[in-house]
Structure 1
Amino acid sequence: MRHMKRAAAAAVITSVALAMAGCSAGSGDGGGTDAGACEPSEGKVNLSFTSWIPGIEEAVAMWNDANPDIQVEVQTGPSGNAGTYQNFFNQLKAGNAPDLGQIEYDALPNFRVQDGLADLGACEEIVAGKDDFVDWTWGQVTLGTESEVYGVPQDSGPMALFYRSDLFEQNGIAVPTTWEEYKAAAEKIRALGGYITNFSQTDINQFAGFVWQAGGEWFANDGDEWTVEMTDDTSKQVADYWQDLIANDLVSTYPAWTDEWNNAYNSGEVWSWNSAVWGANSIASGAPDTAGNWSVAKAPQWNAGESAAGNWGGSSIAVFKGTEHLYEAAKFALWLNTSEESLTSLNETAAIYPATKAGLELPALSEGVPFYGDQPIYDVFAEAAGEVDPDFVWGPTMTQTYADVSDGFKAAVSGSGTLADALATGQDATIAAMEAQSIPVAD
């Protein structure tokens, strides 16, 4: 019953938030549902596209070679919450946003509330492609509406456990199947001078994935107003668990994707990472000296015998309002995320796990991966994908929520306050931000 209520609420969430924010669907240049708004441009078209996906330039080059009249210039930058989203907001305000941008599912509502996205529902090819995508990912880009589409799904991020199988085996430590076992393993590994994992003080998305797996829900909507609950028992359970590991020096706390972070994994100081499927590329690129020594297992469970997975990330390619080439931008976004050659390239360069049904059948996803000892790691993630609760709801100001919680996490890591304190502060800040945008919040 809880999931049924959440699914029903999700269907009205965004429309409620947007109406209260004064952003009626289908308004403005490039954002309407008039089919005439999505017509081919005359002459050669040059599109600008910003992403942070490793190696995406290779897929874009394939498109450019095959489409001389629609050329795409790609610019890469930091991940969304590390700076690219703020750049997008600044560019939208200044009127010089790129034609297309990489936006994770949890951040799409932010951009829609700011009236920054073109409605791809005006493009027949986009609408016709709906059935090509895994159902829940399509729901992520329609934002609870019936006919509007605010991005083309690219991938999903089911989570599992990456671990140094050689180190676990050499030291007689069993691969943990529960979070209780994970802590016990952490104590053994620390006694050997290492850390079982790194707790990132900036990736609140990862922590949200932990809460997701545990059955928590930070946001809900009853059709009239939002409920924000980041301090419920489940969230507190997850926060207290990681706080205990931090307080007892059982995890390292390097900022993710820094040289320190890479060195910790490359040197064998850190033995595992609870991450999404795309993390396969992060480890391979950051810890090249450990090739062949990694494996993937299902995520530890809160209770023995359970089968639940969290989700971290998953992106769409969105078209920004103000583009002069909606048709061409939509055509490129659809090709990038549905063509076999593009999806194969993105999987090879960035371990992208496709959001299309056909993409999940790519030969590359059934093969052993050399960096992971030739294990067919995507079999594990395929199982995890089916164990992710599809009804988890994102709030309408997630980028700000992440930033506010991140400040508290950084303080907790340094010994000032706790993770639970950070969630409480983040909840208050989130409610204030929503109210400032006239988004109704329950008392």
Structure 2
Amino acid sequence: MPKGAEFIIRSLENAGFEAYIVGGCVRDGILGRDPEDWDITTIAKPDEIKRIFSHTVDTGIEHGTVTVLVPPEEVERGIRSFEVTTYRIDGEYTDHRHPNAVSFTGSLEEDLARRDFTINAMAYHMERGIIDPFHGQEDLEKKIVRAVGKAKDRFAEDALRMMRGIRFSAQLDFSLDEEAYLGIESLKESLENVSKERIAVELWKLLASAHPDKVEMFFSTGLAPYITEDFPKIQESGIPKLLPFAPVEKIVRFGLFLRNVPDLARKILRDLKLDRESIEGGSHFAALFSEEEVESPYALRKRIARYGLKMVRDFYEMRLALLHQDEAELYSPLESDLLESKRRTGEIITTKKQAESIVKERLLWITKVESEKNCVSLSELMLSGKDLISLGVSPGKRMGEILQLAFDRVLQEPKENEKEKLISYLQESGLLDS
């Protein structure tokens, strides 16, 4: 427990109020994981919390939550803010997402009873130890995600909990309790009540986990059509087994996840209301897997000009990692051709070596582009629009075409990226007056 959390609990107790850390931080502490957040629950009401601490923020005052900022001398591990929430009982959930109202209670157990899963329904005190009325520790030992009480009741209250259960299964590498699984199957349609932004957060947390392959449960439980209308088509094309080995970056993991549906990638990511960078990058990364292999350094530089150096490097590094995995996970037309050749000749080792050699060669080409500082974007071209204006070219479509031709010249011959050489080339090509 960080120093700041203990400071808050001691301060509340000194004022006569019971308090504990609660939820995910207790679960992660038992598992030996570093918690992302440290939440505190207390019998004190929000106005009482605010009277005790000098620096607070009303982050969720209507639900009993106040963020407390501890003094600088109590900050440890860079953690200064803690959410402190009054013991509460949730009212009716009519929108399958939020309670219509909450009421405060004097019972810690009643507060824990409203939580989603047993592994998240534990509290801890420095002296009283772990409070675990729903056997969360036992479920941690069994490596199972089980709902508090009846799974259908928990999911009917908040439909996002269905995705959260699968996400916890992926993050912790736990099994999903059978009752929870059946509960998702029976209430899957209620996910329609959840915003796409919240759905996208849960999907990303799962894909970013050590076991993103558990995304398959979105399909097997029937949740997929309620994530986006095109989501089921991902399973039809196959879920990449390589996901766990990919860098934990949105563009890479979303792109790899959607690599079998490149034509739908942009729409799926847009329907999830992701940020522009993730939509553009993820759809581009997915598209790379459907393109034919580049056969020359010039073609590679054109690909870098279109997609960016980092993305192209990530793509080839993924393909290299791919070749070290199951042969059934061959992505590109090049590798498919090699696989067919292997089937005809039986040359398994030769085929894999050939494919690996090609990918390594492309990575060497990329390294050369970097080391030689090749021009791979218009902004790096040593000829500008101002230069063309000085040579009598008016701004407009023709100027853009001339710059593109000059850029293509440099992509073919990187050493030609000098103003004088490019002007001479354009003059010899009849595009500029001598």
User: TM-score, with normalisation over the residues of structure 2?
Assistant: 0.22
Larger Rg computed on CA atoms: 2
Which one has the bigger helix percentage? 2
User: TM-score, with normalisation over the residues of structure 1?
Assistant: 0.22
Greater relative contact order (Cα 8 A, min sep 6): structure 1 or 2? 1
